[in-house]
């Protein structure tokens, strides 16, 4: 009995009533309860609640059947922990063989139960893991026969679970390929090679499945060894379907090949427009290397050709449509500009956010040049490069529409080369073509940029002159053309001379449409040929007469300087207080040997129009200065001589040098030269007029404003410019006695001159009443027929001897 007390097992005994009558010491130490607490059914208080019903039912059931008891349950230990026990009970019989109860032994199996639970949990986790894995898992034994697989493996291989067991014996289920797509034997797949070598083996294999599809698998085979003997016992293989990835990689490789070898330049940027990648064509087009472009923005290519509005509209379209396409001008690294055909696309992620921009462009310089050349040839004469009949017709229609809207006049000139057929027939068509090219070059120098000269074919040309004021404008162009064609052409050592017969039709006088104007200009051209060639004719005969008169006048004017037909008359300027002559104004006169005396009103405007006023003005300056010095040398008191300056003299010559030369050549002091300038000349001669006037004043000359009151009459320029005298225009003086408005204007000019400390002289004084008004208003000087008309220098010399002019009309001799 003492042995049972200390036996390591928990021992119990029960009687016929199923109540326990004995627990050994080991049991009591385990539960931490007394024998009295455990006896009977007290021991059941320590059974785990979850096991209680099962344990009691099993115990009572065995007791009733008097069969051996074996059950597992949890019993609370003295420290409160429940431990798993395996309880084995055997029925007890007395010597007579009668049943007297049970004796039982309990062993603590907690550790075993925990191990079994852990193993079951591991198995569950493994099966769950295998089932949930996207990768296929296949376990083979040392002979390569399949032992285990998961559902993913069957799905990847395209076979059912039942067919997986036949995988190693049916060759028609799968066909294997290497990475390049060539068939391989089953022995060459990674798991077989891992079994053969005993080393892990991985690689890409292709599988042709039963459904006809081909899948690409990344296969990784790991051999398994026995722990103790290290003998090979199998291989675990994982397979991953990388078909999509492989296809993507192939597509990416293809895309990269296309990107790298594209003949069009490509830029890839991030959402902030920073360049991430460029291709080789980008470098070829722009000159920037990949290293120079990465991290920059495409703004590095901007040429400045487009304004901000262009780029704003472009990005607005990209933001709205995700795409923009058009032409743009960019700049290369070397600074040259080029036209490009550009498309920009925005790349979005799944959330719709822009992640990248892709720009594709190509240099279209050659294409644009070809297009321009084609367009040019379609509208221009291939021999001379001048607009052809089609373009001329279009421009003439536009010019007519513009003229109709704005009330302008247009001239259409029809030009035909005289005797061109003779040159063509005698010297050949090549020589004739060279002559036509030379003629075209000279014609283009005879017109403005807004005009059009066109070759119609053969030896015919048309010219459209826009915005002409009078028929004389067209006549001057015709004369200019005839003059330009005067010198001979030297072609292949041949001296060729030619001329034009020119017909002129005017809009609106001679027609209001293209066809009518061309017909009438052609008619006028034939009239020019009938008139002896090398001339021009207007369609309107009256205009012809006026043009011929003007041409005759201009030709005479060109000869006038050479033939000494010009002379100067001088009109005295009189002090109104004393009647003394205080100066003279030099006035140009022309006495032609053919036409006789020609009015300045006729020839001076013409001289300005054709540019002859410049040499004529220099002659006037020299002559007037010499005469003023001559009077001084004759002993007369010095007095200023006034010379009028035209706007053309002021703009087209170095007027300061001209005046200085005249003073030097004559020996006249600048004090005695007065230059008369008009208000319009001062306003229209450009921003440097003030500097020019300052340099003239530095020569000592006096400056006066002629015809004051008829132009701008701005006080601003009177303050800016170093003016000495104001000349009241004769149009105001003429009616001061009858017209209150003219009287008020003259009075205001006199007061203005006094306020600005300027001398005031009145022109056109012809009556005593005018003189009295001027004197009473404080005007200091006057000139006009009341005192003397313009006279030759000898006649003025006689007046200077008298010194004082009477206030009475003096008739011209």
Beta-bridge mates of residue 417 = 500
Residue range 483-522, pLDDT digits in tens:
888 888 888 888 888 888 999 999 998 889 999 999 899 8
- Which residues neighbour 182 within 8 Å (Cβ) at sequence distance 6 or greater? none
Q: Interhelix angle for 600-610 vs 471-484, to 10°?
A: 50
- Which residues neighbour 128 within 8 Å (Cβ) at sequence distance 6 or greater? none
Query: How are beta strands 596-598 and 581-592 bridged, if at all?
Result: antiparallel
- 345-353 contacts, C-beta under 8 A, 24 or more apart: 346/318, 346/319, 346/322, 348/322, 353/271
Least confident of 115-124, 301-310, 605-614: 115-124
With 60 as the cut, is the pLDDT of residue 543 above it? no
Beta-bridge mates of residue 706 = 678
Burial of 422 (0-12, 13-18, 19+ CB in 10 A): exposed
Tokens of 64: 């009733």
Preceding omega of 508 cis (within 30 degrees of 0): yes
Task: With beta carbons less than 8 A apart as the criterion, state whether 47 and 74 touch.
Answer: yes
Task: With beta carbons less than 8 A apart as the criterion, state whether 23 and 38 touch.
Answer: yes
DSSP labels, 630-699? HHHHTTPPP--EEEE--HHHHHHS-HHHHHHHHHHHHT--GGGEEEEEEHHHHHHS-TTHHHHHHHHHHT
Separation CA 761–CA 583 (nearest Å)? 11
Residue range 581-620, pLDDT digits in tens:
999 999 999 998 888 889 998 888 888 877 888 899 999 9
Which has the closest alpha carbon to 660: 692, 683, 638, 630? 692
Residue range 766-777, pLDDT digits in tens:
999 999 999 999
Task: With beta carbons less than 8 A apart as the criterion, state whether 342 and 359 touch.
Answer: yes
Sign of the dihedral defined by the CA atoms of residues 730, 734, 740, 741, in that order: negative
Residue range 453-491, pLDDT digits in tens:
999 888 899 999 998 888 888 999 999 899 888 888 888
Taking the C-alpha atoms of 709, 715, 717 and 718 in order, what is their torsion angle to the nearest 10 degrees? 80
User: Taking the chain, what is the end-to-end CA distance rounded to the nearest angstrom?
Assistant: 185
Average pLDDT rounded to a whole number, residues 612-634: 94
Sign of the dihedral defined by the CA atoms of residues 618, 619, 620, 624, in that order: positive
With 90 as the cut, is the pLDDT of residue 411 above it? yes
Residue range 39-60, pLDDT digits in tens:
999 999 999 999 999 999 988 8
With 50 as the cut, is the pLDDT of residue 808 above it? no
pLDDT at 2: 62
Q: How many residues does the chain have?
A: 813
Tokens of 413: 């000139």
SS3 129: helix
Region of residue 655 (left: phi > 0; alpha: psi -120 to 50; beta: else)? alpha
Q: Scan for tokens 């800016």, then name that residue.
A: 720
Give whole-number Cα distances, 80 to 6, 542, 739, in Å: 22, 140, 139
Q: Which tops the pLDDT comparison, 315 or 246?
A: 315
Percent of the chain with pLDDT over 90: 40
Task: With beta carbons less than 8 A apart as the criterion, state whether 632 and 589 touch.
Answer: no
pTM equals 0.44
Confidence of residue 367 (pLDDT cuts 50, 70, 90): confident
Report the 10 Å Cβ neighbour count for 566: 18
Percent of the chain with pLDDT over 70: 93
Average pLDDT rounded to a whole number, residues 741-758: 88
pLDDT at 121: 76
Number of H helices, E strands in the chain: 30, 33
Average pLDDT rounded to a whole number, residues 423-446: 85
604-613 per-residue burial string, b: 16 or more CB within 10 A, e: under 16: bebbbebebb
Sign of the dihedral defined by the CA atoms of residues 441, 446, 450, 456, in that order: negative
Separation CA 637–CA 634 (nearest Å)? 9
Separation CA 454–CA 568 (nearest Å)? 46
């Amino acid at each position: 009995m003492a042995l049972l007390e200390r036996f390591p097992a928990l021992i119990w005994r029960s009687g016929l009533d199923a109540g326990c009558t004995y627990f050994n010491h080991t049991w009591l130490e385990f539960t931490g309860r007394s024998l009295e607490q455990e006896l009977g059914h007290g021991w059941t208080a320590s059974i785990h609640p979850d096991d209680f019903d099962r344990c009691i039912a099993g115990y009572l059931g065995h007791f009733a059947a008097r069969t051996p008891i074996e059950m597992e349950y949890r019993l609370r230990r003295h420290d409160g922990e429940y431990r798993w026990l395996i309880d084995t009970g055997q029925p007890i019989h007395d010597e007579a063989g009668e049943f007297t109860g049970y004796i039982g032994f309990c062993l603590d199996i907690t550790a075993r139960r925990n191990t079994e639970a852990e193993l079951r949990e591991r198995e569950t986790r493994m099966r769950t893991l295998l089932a949930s894995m996207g990768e296929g898992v296949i376990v083979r034994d040392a002979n390569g026969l399949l032992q285990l697989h998961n559902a993913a493996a069957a799905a990847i291989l395209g076979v059912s679970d039942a067919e997986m067991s036949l995988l190693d014996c049916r060759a028609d289920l799968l066909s294997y390929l290497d990475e390049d797509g060539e068939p391989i034997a089953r022995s060459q797949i990674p798991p077989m090679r891992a079994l053969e070598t005993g080393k892990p083996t991985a690689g890409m294999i292709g599988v042709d499945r039963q459904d006809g599809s081909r899948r690409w698998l990344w296969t990784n085979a790991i051999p398994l060894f026995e722990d103790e003997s290290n003998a090979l016992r199998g291989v675990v293989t994982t397979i991953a379907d990388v078909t999509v990835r492989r296809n993507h990689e192939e597509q990416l490789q293809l895309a990269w090949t296309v990107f790298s070898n594209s003949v069009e330049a490509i830029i890839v940027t991030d959402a902030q427009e920073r360049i991430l990648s460029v291709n080789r064509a980008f470098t070829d087009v722009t000159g920037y290397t990949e290293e120079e472009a990465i991290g920059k923005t495409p703004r590095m290519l901007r040429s400045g050709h487009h304004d901000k509005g262009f780029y704003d509209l472009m990005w607005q379209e990209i933001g709205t449509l995700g795409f923009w396409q058009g032409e743009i001008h960019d700049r290369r690294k070397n600074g040259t500009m080029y036209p490009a055909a550009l498309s920009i696309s925005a790349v979005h992620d799944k959330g719709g956010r822009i992640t990248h921009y892709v720009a594709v462009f190509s240099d279209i310089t050659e294409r644009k040049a070809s297009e321009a050349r084609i367009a040019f040839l379609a509208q221009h004469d291939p021999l001379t490069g001048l607009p052809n009949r089609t373009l001329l017709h279009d421009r003439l229609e536009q010019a007519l529409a513009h003229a109709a809207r704005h009330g302008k006049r247009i001239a259409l000139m029809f030009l035909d080369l005289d005797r061109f057929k003779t040159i063509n027939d005698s010297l050949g068509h090549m020589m004739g073509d060279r002559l036509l090219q030379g003629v075209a070059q000279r014609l283009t120098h005879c017109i403005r940029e807004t005009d059009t000269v066109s070759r119609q074919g053969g030896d015919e040309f048309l010219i459209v002159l826009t915005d002409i004021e009078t028929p004389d404008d067209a006549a001057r162009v015709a004369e200019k053309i005839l003059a330009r064609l005067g010198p001979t052409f030297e072609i292949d050592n041949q001296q060729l001379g030619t001329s034009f017969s020119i017909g002129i039709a005017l809009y609106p006088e001679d027609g209001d449409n293209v066809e009518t104007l061309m017909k009438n200009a052609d008619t006028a051209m034939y009239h020019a040929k009938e008139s002896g060639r090398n001339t021009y004719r207007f369609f309107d005969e009256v205009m012809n007469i006026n043009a011929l008169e003007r041409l005759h006048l201009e030709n005479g004017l060109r000869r006038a300087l050479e033939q000494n037909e010009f002379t100067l008359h001088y009109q005295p300027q009189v002090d109104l207080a004393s009647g003394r002559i205080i100066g003279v104004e030099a006035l140009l006169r022309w006495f032609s040997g053919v036409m006789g005396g020609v009015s300045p009103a006729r020839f001076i405007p013409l001289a300005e129009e054709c540019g002859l006023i410049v040499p004529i003005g220099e002659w006037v300056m020299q002559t007037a200065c010499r005469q003023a010095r001559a009077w001084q040398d004759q002993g007369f008191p010095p007095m200023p001589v006034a010379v009028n300056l035209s706007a053309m003299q002021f703009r087209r010559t170095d007027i300061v040098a001209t005046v200085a030369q005249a003073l030097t050549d004559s020996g006249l002091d600048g004090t005695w030269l007065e230059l008369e300038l008009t208000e319009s000349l001062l306003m229209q001669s450009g921003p440097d007029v003030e500097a020019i006037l300052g340099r003239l004043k530095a020569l000592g000359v006096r400056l006066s404003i002629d015809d004051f009151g008829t132009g701008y009459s701005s006080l601003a320029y009177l303050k800016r410019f170093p003016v000495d005298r104001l000349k009241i225009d004769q149009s105001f003086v003429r009616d001061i006695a009858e017209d209150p408005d003219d009287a008020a204007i003259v009075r205001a000019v006199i007061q203005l001159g006094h306020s600005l400390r300027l001398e005031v002289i009145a022109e056109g004084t012809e009556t005593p009443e005018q003189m009295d008004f001027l004197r009473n208003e404080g005007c200091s000087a006057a000139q006009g027929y009341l005192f003397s008309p313009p006279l030759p220098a000898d006649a003025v010399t006689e007046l200077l001897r008298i010194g004082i002019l009477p206030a009475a009309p003096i008739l011209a001799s």
